[in-house]
Amino acid sequence: MSEPASISIGIAARYATAVFDLAKEGGALAALEGDIDQLETALADSAELRAVLSSPVYSREDLAKAVSALAEKMALSPAMRGALGMMARNRRLFALSHLCATLRRKIADEKGEVTADVTSAIVLSKAQADALASTLKDRIGKTVKLNVAVDEKLIGGLIVKVGSKMIDTSIRSKLAALQNTMKEVG
């Protein structure tokens, strides 16, 4: 991991712990989850927002005012508003995406959920996704949320990643394994 990324993750972890604890004490984890959804959408949709948050050109006061106006417009929870204001005053807004990711993990842990990254060759139907989530829940013992992506290069099958575990049943990987076996024989 690069040094700037690890610094951002460390900074985000400290802010996330404080925000999470405040929201949990206030019984506002659902509101915090909504805040994260809105912020992630805004960051994904607006290159201008990302540029402003990481720009050294703006003063701390200007960033604090901009973030305060954004938080007001988005109707963010008090805990998140306070964190964003503090991050602006301390010039830490560049870690906002890491803050959202860390908060999402903390909320999932609190709810007993785990996220599985699933890559399939075709779009999974609702029934297929539900069956996969149910199977994973039985194996893991926690509620599983699926992040599904499609990669036609897999030809068929799935790649499922849960934490540090990966299950690859794709035809592409089976063909690669067969090719390696044939090289060893010949």
φ/ψ of 185, rounded to 5, equals -75, -45
pLDDT at 4: 66
- Tell which of 109, 124, 143 closes a domain: 109
What's the burial of 141, exposed, middle or buried (CB within 10 Å: 0-12/13-18/19+)?
exposed
**Do 33 and 45 have their domain in common?**
yes
**Do 121 and 98 have their domain in common?**
no
The amino acid sitting at 50 is R
**Do 57 and 136 have their domain in common?**
no
Contact by Cβ (8 Å): 100, 20? no
Q: Where are the alpha helices (DSSP H) in the chain?
A: 3-25, 29-45, 47-54, 60-74, 78-89, 96-111, 126-140, 171-185
Give me the domain span that covers residue 11.
3-109
pLDDT, one tens digit per residue, over 110-143 is: 998 999 999 999 999 999 999 999 999 999 989 9
- Tell which of 77, 109, 141 closes a domain: 109
Instruction: Check pLDDT > 60 for residue 100.
Output: yes
To the nearest whole number, what is the mean pLDDT of the chain? 92
pTM of the model: 0.73
- Tell which of 52, 80, 109 closes a domain: 109
pLDDT, one tens digit per residue, over 137-171 is: 999 989 999 999 999 999 999 999 998 899 999 99
pLDDT at 8: 82
